């Protein structure tokens, strides 16, 4: 991939990139068994999500998403004046599928969910699609490659399905800012209409080339996924031995809580020692921390540090 980017860093950088991202769209389509007109490429999945909210959801018509999920969804709604309702997850952060089947004006699901890491199988996504035949069901699959069940297989069967993915996580390309959506050709045309209304050139030349090269390097991609999964599972086991509750995760992070050590205090204790994790000061999850999986060495340092914190401050372990 780096060689492809270096080769593209030539005199052609003086030229604008392909506004259609045609080569990358074709590569993505081939990878997933779709047609190029079923693929949209944007400058990171956050931009793709923003375009989707603008293209498919309307002021005055209520959309739904879970009460515990990616925090940008309410932000997009407020920015575009879209009313929304948050449907509560169950006690153990599972998706109450039937409550999302109401013929709403739009449905947004992160699968796996953030920050919990929990995922739902494709059969449940199918249930939501069939329960909302007249609106777009947007499935945000930023973390699906780490162990979730992708809904891309349903794209040809449901014209109201839009799957959004990113190369920032499983492809380790956060610095290139490449996201993409897959869905019916009419939905993709809608996204292009929004994009082209103010900026046709959202993805630069080097990002386009690097993203396409990453799709060809399947061996590296699979090896990295396996490594993250192995380190995630090992870290979860070590934390459980310290008394942590660790949610089953299909993502590249884990969601943890401890019966004696408050999450807010642990967050600050770790921060004081130079380790950053995510703390959410929100009802239902204010005693949980989200811990991103790093290298084996980084997670070993994390586990040793949090064990020390428990021993010193909470007389645990």
**Architecture in CATH for domain 219-314:** Alpha-Beta Complex (3.90)
**Could you read off the pLDDT of 90-148 as tens digits, one per residue?**
999 999 999 999 989 999 999 999 999 999 999 999 999 999 999 999 999 999 999 99
Domain ranges of the chain: 2-216, 219-314
CA 280 to CA 288: how far, in whole Å? 7
Strand-pairing partners, residue 166, are: 179
CA distances from 14 to 8, 19, 198 (A): 11, 15, 21
Contact 178, 44 (CB under 8 A): yes
Distance CA 165, CA 24 (A): 14
* CATH architecture for the domain at 2-216: 3-Layer(aba) Sandwich (3.40)
| pLDDT per residue as tens digits for the range 70-82 | 999 999 999 999 9
Counting every residue written for the chain, the total comes to 317
What residues of the chain score a pLDDT lower than 50?
none
Q: Report which of 138, 69, 149 is spatially closest to residue 104, judged by C-alpha positions.
A: 138
**Token reading at 257:** 């809580």
Whole-model pTM: value is 0.95
């Amino acid at each position: 991939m780096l060689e492809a980017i270096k080769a593209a860093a030539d005199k052609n950088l003086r030229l604008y990139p392909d506004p259609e991202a045609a080569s990358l769209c074709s590569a993505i389509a081939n990878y997933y068994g779709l047609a190029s007109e079923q693929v949209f490429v944007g400058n990171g999945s956050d931009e793709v999500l923003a375009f989707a909210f603008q293209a498919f959801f309307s002021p005055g018509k209520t959309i739904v998403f879970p009460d515990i999920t990616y925090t940008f969804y309410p932000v997009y709604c407020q920015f575009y004046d879209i009313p929304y309702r948050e449907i509560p997850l169950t006690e153990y952060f599972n998706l109450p599928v039937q409550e999302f089947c109401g013929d709403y004006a739009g449905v947004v699901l992160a699968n796996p969910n953030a920050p919990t890491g929990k995922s739902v199988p494709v059969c449940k996504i199918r249930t939501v699609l069939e329960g909302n035949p007249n609106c777009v069901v947007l499935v945000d699959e930023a973390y699906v490659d780490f162990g979730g069940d992708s809904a891309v297989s349903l794209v040809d069967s449901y014209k109201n399905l839009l799957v959004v993915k990113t190369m920032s996580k499983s492809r380790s390309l956060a610095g290139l800012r490449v996201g993409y959506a897959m869905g019916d050709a009419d939905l993709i045309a809608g996204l292009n209409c929004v994009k082209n209304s103010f900026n046709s050139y959202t993805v630069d030349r080097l990002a386009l080339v690097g993203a396409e090269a990453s799709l060809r390097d399947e061996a590296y991609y699979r090896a990295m996924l396996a490594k993250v999964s192995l380190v995630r599972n090992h870290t979860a086991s070590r934390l459980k031995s310290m008394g942590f509750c660790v949610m089953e995760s299909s993502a590249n992070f884990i969601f943890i809580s401890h019966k004696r050590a408050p999450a807010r205090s642990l967050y600050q204790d770790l921060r004081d020692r130079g380790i950053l994790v995510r703390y959410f000061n929100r009802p239902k999850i204010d005693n949980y921390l989200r811990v991103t999986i790093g290298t084996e060495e980084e997670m070993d340092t994390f586990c040793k540090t949090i064990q020390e914190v428990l021993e010193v401050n909470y007389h645990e372990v």
